[in-house]
Amino acid sequence: MNLIHHKLRSRRGASISFALLLFLVCAVVGSVVLVAGTAAAGRISQAAEADQRYYSVTSAAELLKGQIEGDMNRVVITQEDTTPITDGVLGTTSKGSPQIGGTVITPPLTSITQDAAYHIWKAEKINNKALTLTATEAGTVVNGLAVNINETMEKKSIVDGLLEEWRLTFTLSDTGTQPYKLTMTFQAQVDKDVDYQTAADAEIKTTTQTVTWSLVDIRPVGGAET
């Protein structure tokens, strides 16, 4: 220590060179520490932003699950077709309009479950599993953050084409430049019932379709099932 102090106070050229070398070493060490600290702060900021994106999307997923799954969100569609009877002979059938809760369905439907159930109703009527539903809701606000929701539905083969079920899939993502994405898949339970009532002047056919949904898969895009 005394040697360094002595060299620093010395007026000889070698001592000045030593002082400059020592200053250079300190400057390099300080720069390395500063760069490391800046990089660490950047990583922490990116991690916090990623966590925020993750929680906004997963919160939207929980909200969506509550709006779709279970008996509380069942949708019942009914339609009455009337065939007049004159002297025991059936006339031309007058088809009624499909209804939900006694109200004639008038698209577009604002409820996701009603929209999906009506889509199934239409597709099953014409036996067309390729009739797919697609919709996009951009900027849905959940917990103060905007989330994009893309919705698709189609009838898919579950096991080697032996069983087909309607499946409703949502892709959720935040609105950032590198968004966190999550997919949710719900499977429909579709129950149908046809009832005939015959009066003196008419035969009434009532068709009832009940649809409930259950979550069968949720995973980040490109990730494993969770």
Q: What pLDDT is recorded for position 86?
A: 87
46 domain residue, yes or no: no
Domain that holds residue 168: 55-220
* Residue 94: strand pairing partners: 82
The number of domains in the chain is: 1
The residue-averaged pLDDT of 11-38 equals 66
Q: Are the C-beta atoms of 146 and 165 separated by less than 8 Å?
A: no
14 domain residue, yes or no: no
pTM of the model: 0.68
168 domain residue, yes or no: yes
Distance (Å) of CA 109 to CA 23, 116, 117, 159, 209: 74, 9, 10, 32, 17
Q: Are the C-beta atoms of 71 and 56 separated by less than 8 Å?
A: no
162 domain residue, yes or no: yes
184 vs 160, residue with greater confidence = 184
In which band, very low, low, confident or very high, does the pLDDT at 26 lie, cut at 50, 70 and 90?
A: confident
137 vs 94, residue with greater confidence = 94
20 domain residue, yes or no: no
Q: Is the predicted pLDDT of residue 39 greater than 60, yes or no?
A: no
Average pLDDT over the chain, rounded to an integer = 76
Distance (Å) of CA 126 to CA 81, 98, 160, 172, 209: 17, 15, 24, 31, 15
19 domain residue, yes or no: no
CA-based nearest residue to 153, from 136, 137, 170, 138: 170
4 domain residue, yes or no: no
35 domain residue, yes or no: no
SS3 content of the chain, % helix, strand, coil (to 5): 35, 40, 25
